[in-house]
Structure 1
Amino acid sequence: MVQAYVLIQTEVGKASTVAEIVSKIPGVIQAEDVTGPYDVILRAQADTMDDLGRMVVAKVQQVEGITRTLTCPIVHL
């Protein structure tokens, strides 16, 4: 199992709506509105890194109002 934080930039005024929609995507553990350079941060998990990438590209990035994402895989050093 792999996990990652996905940092999301949205169109102005869309953060709450985007957070609500992405929180319902299978594999998303949590999604929160935040302030700063990103508008929403979500934590996601998948069986493999490829599955995680597919989820971000095929499901998260397709949500209306999202302008950019940055995926940060969690590592255990």
Structure 2
Amino acid sequence: MNKTRKYYERKFARYPDVVDLFTFRKMLGGIGDCFARRLVQENKVKHTFIKPNYWIFKSSIIDYILSEDYASRRLRVRV
């Protein structure tokens, strides 16, 4: 079943509009730190870097979840 943007907006409603790397990892099902940093550094998700933290936009996380890259990696969202 293909899920829509509205589905993920509801699923992530309890999260703030901008999250840290730890929360981003949790939103994507507990992915590893290195993989999460690679997604950010390869600009797969929109972010802002304010030393020493990456801040990732919730809308960008949803865009990534709906992308072909996410589907090809067979990742699963856990909330």
Q: State the TM-score bracket (shorter-chain normalisation).
A: 0.3 to 0.5
Larger strand percent: 1
Ranked by relative contact order (alpha carbons within 8 Å, sequence separation 6 or more), the top structure is 1
- Normalising by the residue count of structure 1, what TM-score does the alignment of the two structures yield? 0.36
Q: Could you state the TM-score of these two structures normalised by the residue count of structure 2? A: 0.35
